[in-house]
Amino acid sequence: MNGDDARKGLLISPIENGTVIDHIAAGEALNVLRIIGITGTTQESISVATNVKSGKRGKKDIVKIVNRELRKEEVDRIALIAPHASINIIRNYCVYDKKGVETPPFVVGIVRCPNPGCISNTSEPIPSKFQVQPKGLRCLYCDWLITKDITSHII
């Protein structure tokens, strides 16, 4: 940790083992937790810092989860709302591994199509399927384009 991070340590104490999700767009940390299924009551030790100063991009959010590493499917979900996030695996207080997130080309079964008439919303056992496009998520069944607030459409 550099001097700047040492001062941030006043906000969030170091963890021995776990995951740091860093460089989350300012204000999105709670959505990141939601998108990986951490809502309401939880057993996990989690610290969240929002709107902290970041050298490169002005402000950012950070999430630290003790004793937990993320599955690939969870990292892919994070990419949908925090495309610049980095996932740091912490072991024995040090950054053991650091990876960026990669936006997946398709999102299957994670996001509900807002179109009530879409076949993915009928009683058919058809999972939703979206193509990730520069403007948003495009439903492959009905062509609906979700352009904002993807989190609110998470299943």
Ligand X SMILES: Nc1ncnc2c1ncn2[C@@H]1O[C@H](COP(=O)(O)OP(=O)(O)OP(=O)(O)O)[C@@H](O)[C@H]1O
- Report the SS3 class of residue 57: coil
- How far apart, in whole angstroms, are the C-alpha atoms of residue 49 and residue 72? 23
Decide: is 19 part of the binding site for ligand X (CB under 6 A): no
Q: What are phi and psi of 119, to 5 degrees?
A: -60, -25
CB atoms within 10 A of CB 80: 22
Q: Which CB, 33 or 130, lies closer to Zn ion?
A: 130
Alpha-carbon distances of 87 from 60, 62, 70, 116, 119, rounded to whole Å:
14, 10, 9, 35, 35
Task: Give the binding range for ligand X (CB under 6 A) out of 90-98, 107-115, 117-125, 143-151.
Answer: 90-98
Residue choice 47, 86, 115, 151 for contact with Zn ion (CB under 5 A): 115
Residue 14 interaction partner, one of Zn ion, ligand X, none, beta carbon < 5-8 Å per kind: ligand X
139 binding partner (options ligand X, Zn ion, none; Cβ < 5 to 8 Å by kind): Zn ion
Asked if 89 interacts with Zn ion (CB under 5 A), we say: no
Amino acid identity for residue 90 in this structure? I
Tell me how far apart the alpha carbons of residues 126 and 1 are, in angstroms, rounded to a whole number. Answer: 47
Task: Give the one residue of 7, 11, 14, 122 binding ligand X; rule: CB under 6 A.
Answer: 14
Within 10 angstroms of residue 117's Cβ, the number of other Cβ atoms is 9
- x-or-dash string of contact with ligand X, 57-76, rule CB under 6 A: -----x-x------------
Q: Which residues bind ligand X (CB under 6 A)?
A: 1, 5, 8, 14-15, 20, 22, 62, 64, 86, 88, 90, 93, 95, 98
Per CB under 5 A, residues contacting Zn ion are: 113, 115, 118, 139, 141-142, 144
